[in-house]
Structure 1
């Protein structure tokens, strides 16, 4: 694959069944960036720790919340309808953008999109108008509905950083709610490799409800076995002072939440498997 333009949001170890370590991941990104033509664009997150390790012939533009970023956000405001902020392009205020999605990660994604489209020559007002009409994507902090006053969300997050970022966004948008995260770890290899990082990812949750690990087709086919379990992860989360429960089945989780939900709760299902079914059961 040889792209003409490339956006790099962040670079972390994931898919440990393929990449052996972070250096292996960085090598893959470097190989891809090296393929960019001179007339192309590399859009990269300013605060990425390994940003300067990526070399390319293309023009480099940074985005982020740092004052050093070429494209950045300023005067950020969050609420339960989304967020709004000033878009600063190379020191000039392009305008104020209101997004129908919330969270720091969505702001960064918007800035990345602004950076590339701006470099491609689109007018600023056209870019902002298009983003203001964006209502989010399925399984990304997707509001499923309400149940007994509790609001139910679903998100595809299955990496520690994704989980942390999603929960931070939920906390900013709904500061008065009790956040109950329902997490289904995805693959034994990822859970084993990043177990400590997963245990640290739920700082913004008031309670974590864990489902059994969702094994990949590759793991099932190879007979992959691991000493790691969701029950073990629940114990590690408890050690952080956060309430954590483990239930072997999604039906048991749905029943537990059905019996304990209050009108001040925010439930968010997290994972790349079928954990979203819990939210669908509750709102139905």
Structure 2
């Protein structure tokens, strides 16, 4: 997309995180925006209001005659009334991935991709970019504390660093010169039925890099390493840059001694020790990826400034987010919804908060993922002292005919857990009542998953005397 000054654009599904982030960039480039969405309130409502974007409900939206382009969330198609009106009027339409892809052609672009870790990695990159004054724009998949609780940092037009999504191969619309690849494994089973299919999607993305493009990949992750090796064999011109605990070369990560509230690491390229205020070795790996990409685009950055920037990083929305504290009980929320992410998150919390009892509430997301990974899910809660599970959060995007349930997952998990207690709660109110009666000082309660159980922590904080 070029020549955006004064261009009238309507956003369908404007409240989505990516759509709202895109809106900030379009406004910065002079576009005139309007939007439509549901009546449900999201954190982005406040941002859209601050940006001065008028919003209307889908069913009440009438597209003005001066609308030149409609950009829509990938969640909506022409069954949406605004999309149908745009089609009938012959107004050009782009999905969010398509629009972001067109935008990327105007920059020296870098993509952050992977099944896990891409949001935090992108947020860490943005934190470094901002502190170092690099002329770049960054789009993360969640609100970032250091971006004034927005998902976008606009610091210049030379580079565009964006979180990109593998689902339905959306990332193929993006045109990067650098790719950061955090992880590859089986996920989104409603679209990628097995590991081979999702690997092929990542392969297609990586091998589309321009000549001498760079792939920064996590050497510790089997899938990322597998893709890197295969891509390197197919495209020898691609520069492969590994990072991680077992990575060869200067981007090898060495973790510091574990201590409560401290997450320290060193990286071979620098003599300095880095400190993070977010738990988990996986977060240190994300920070290593961020440092590697930052070095690729600006090799002479000030390391002391980078050390200070990473130590100030306070995460992003729904990524080990501290929701509140009451009576010495810490309440957190995290988006982890895959067994690998769950294990890493809980292990990190145990090391970071060793004196707290870990009470975990998890809501499985999508029937296809739960069925495909039920054994892995059942074995992923080892570090939880108390575990509460719920019915599966269904997705409108999947059609699933097999039989699987949250109660089945709870039973299998309880049989695998050698220590701790496992409950199945049908209703959230049941969980809130349990928490009120059983949580005690020094407990850490965390909601996990891509469902709507995040509300439990907030409700507990509201009703606790």
State the TM-score, normalized to the length of structure 1. 0.92
**Which of the pair has the greater relative contact order for Cα pairs under 8 Å at 6+ separation?**
1
Give the superposition deviation at 1:60: 1.2
Structure 1, unaligned runs of 5 or more: none
1:32 matched residue in structure 2: 205
Give the superposition deviation at 1:53: 2.7
Q: Mapping of 1:84-123 within 5 angstroms?
A: 84-89=264-269, 93-120=270-297, 121-123=299-301
1:249 aligns with 2:427: yes
In 2, Cα distance between equivalents of 1:137 and 1:108: 16
2:409 to 224, 228, 233: 233
Alignment root-mean-square deviation, CA: 1.7
1:48 to 198, 221, 235: 221
CA shift in 2, pair 1:229/1:154, >3 Å: same
Q: Secondary structure at the match of 1:94?
A: coil
1:273 aligns with 2:446: no
Deviations along 1:68-127, one digit per CA (max 9) or x if unpaired, are: 3531332514445341222221xxx33111112120111010000111111222414143
Query: Which structure's CA Rg is the greater one?
Result: 2
Structure 2, unaligned runs of 5 or more: 1-172
Q: Secondary structure at the match of 2:359?
A: strand
Give the superposition deviation at 1:225: 4.3
In 2, Cα distance between equivalents of 1:128 and 1:60: 25
CA shift in 2, pair 1:146/1:272, >3 Å: same
Give the superposition deviation at 1:195: 0.5
1:183 to 355, 362, 369: 362
Residues 46 and 69, structure 1, Cα contact 8 Å, conserved in 2: no
Give the superposition deviation at 1:38: 3.0
2:397 matched residue in structure 1: 218
Residues 237 and 243, structure 1, Cα contact 8 Å, conserved in 2: no
State the TM-score, normalized to the length of structure 2. 0.57
1:9 to 179, 182, 192: 182
1:174 matched residue in structure 2: 353
In 1, Cα distance between equivalents of 2:407 and 2:435: 18
Q: Secondary structure at the match of 1:43?
A: strand
- How many residue pairs get matched? 278
Residues 184 and 210, structure 1, Cα contact 8 Å, conserved in 2: yes
Q: Secondary structure at the match of 2:248?
A: coil
- The farther-off stretch of 108-117 and 55-64 is 55-64
